[in-house]
Amino acid sequence: MENETAQASYVDGYASAMLGIATVEGGEIADEIFNAAIALNGNAELIDVLADNRIPAERKQGIIDDLLSQRASSVTVAAITFLVASGQARRLDEIAKRLAYLAAEAEGEVVAEVRAPLDLDADQIDRLSAALSKATGKRVQVKVIVDPSVIGGVVTKVGDTVLDGSVQNRFTELREQWG
Amino acid sequence: MLTQAFAQVILATEEVATTSEEADSGGGIDLLLPASEELLAGIIAFAIVFFFVWKWAIPALNDTLAARQKAINDEYEAAENAKVEAESLLQDYRSQVAGAKGEAAQIVADARETGEAVKSDIVTRAEVEAEDIKARGHEDVATERERVASDLRRQVADLSLDVAEKVVVLSIDEQTQRELVDRYIDELGGVQ
């Protein structure tokens, strides 16, 4: 229990630091850090390498540069490099989600974590955000996480509420009904 | 009795006197008769003896006879009492034997009745238990059949769902994925 509390405190601390950087730098830095962290976290072998203490920090930094420098700002690359160098490679997912939550909270919004097998286009994100805002009664900031394990449809998590619209879930419900 | 004895003695004496007179008058018989003095002395002696006998011996004899008679009567009475008592005891014994026989017969009858009741009870319970076992057996068979059928249905359903899921998953292309996302958004938008 104490260990979990300490972990949450670590995650919260790093997320707050990332939010501070994003606030200073402005723009889409918070989104970039979120997307970069989620993207890296999606590759388990890459995370194993970044979390391996036997691999020099320079080597890890080189990997991150190779992967992100063409797609994100130097601030985002530096922030991710900092998290990895601090030994938080295995917590990138948690820190990214906490960052999104804090950023949305700072703007008076709530975060909707949307997992889908493919990236959503801008129109779908806008419509989904509107639908979720209508459903929850709050302004919702959609964060899309591409997850190939989600088969057909979308799984949305707003706070503790999960709205599972995947085909997989439909089959699960059918199994429960027939079981 | 005593008077009769005296009368006999006097008659005997008179007969002796008569005989003596006849002897005296007749001659030969006098040879057989004692002298008068001797006769008188005999009579006196006899009277004395008779008196003692009459005074003490006969009463003593009578007392002895009476005592013996009484003892005999007592013994007889005791024997009668003993006989009566024995007959009473015999009657009691017979009654007891008869009672014991009756009681034994009753015990046997009761035991037989109890045995029959126990036997009937055991048979009844065995029949009820057998019926229960049979009914439970039927229920178990029905339950097992239903369970097997249910398992089979579930397995068929799972298998069908597995196949359907694989078919659906394989048939979902990017366009379908986007359509599913759009449908999800539309359904979510309909939620108030």
pLDDT tens, residue by residue, B164-191? 888 887 888 888 888 888 888 888 877 5
Say what the pLDDT of residue A118 is.
87
Question: Does residue B22 lie in a domain region?
Answer: yes
**Does A174 contact B178 at a Cβ distance shorter than 8 Å?**
no
With b for 16 or more beta-carbon neighbours within 10 A and e for fewer, the B110-137 pattern comes to: eeeeeeeeeeeeeeeeeeeeeeeeeeee
Tell me if B109 is assigned to some domain.
Answer: no
Please give the pLDDT value at position B158.
83
Residue B138 lies in a domain: no
Of the CA atoms within 13 Å of residue A177, those in its CB half-sphere come to 7
For residue A162, what is the enclosing H or E element? strand A161-164
pLDDT of residue B185: 87
The domains found in chain A, sorted by start residue, are: 1-107 (1.10.520.20), 109-179 (no CATH)
Of A135, A152, A174, the CB nearest to B188: A135
Residue A1: predicted pLDDT: 57
- The Cα–Cα gap between A133 and B189 comes to 9
pLDDT at B192: 45
Tens of pLDDT, residue by residue over B27-48, are 566 777 778 888 899 999 999 9
Residue B75 lies in a domain: yes
Does B86 map to a domain?
Answer: yes
Q: For residues A168 and A164, what is the distance between their CA atoms, to the nearest angstrom?
A: 9
| Predicted pLDDT of residue A105 | 84
Share the mean pLDDT of chain B.
Answer: 83
Q: Is residue B130 part of a domain?
A: no
- Please tell me which residue of chain A has the smallest CA distance to B150: A179
Is residue B188 included in any domain, yes or no? no
Q: Is residue B157 part of a domain?
A: no
Contact B184 A154 (CB under 8 A): yes
Q: Which residues of chain A have pLDDT under 50?
A: none
The count of domains in chain B is 1
Min Cα separation B154/chain A (Å)? 6
Handedness of CA A66, A68, A70, A75 (dihedral sign): negative
* Chain B nearest CA to A160, separation (Å): 17
* Segments forming the whole domain that contains residue B67: 2-91
Q: What are phi and psi of A143, to 5 degrees?
A: -120, 110
Band (B17; pLDDT cuts 50, 70, 90): low
Using an 8 Å CB-CB cutoff, list chain A residues near B191.
131, 134-135
ipTM: 0.70
Interface probe with A: pick from B165, B176, B179, B182, most Cβ of A within 10 Å = B165
Whole-number pLDDT of residue A64: 92
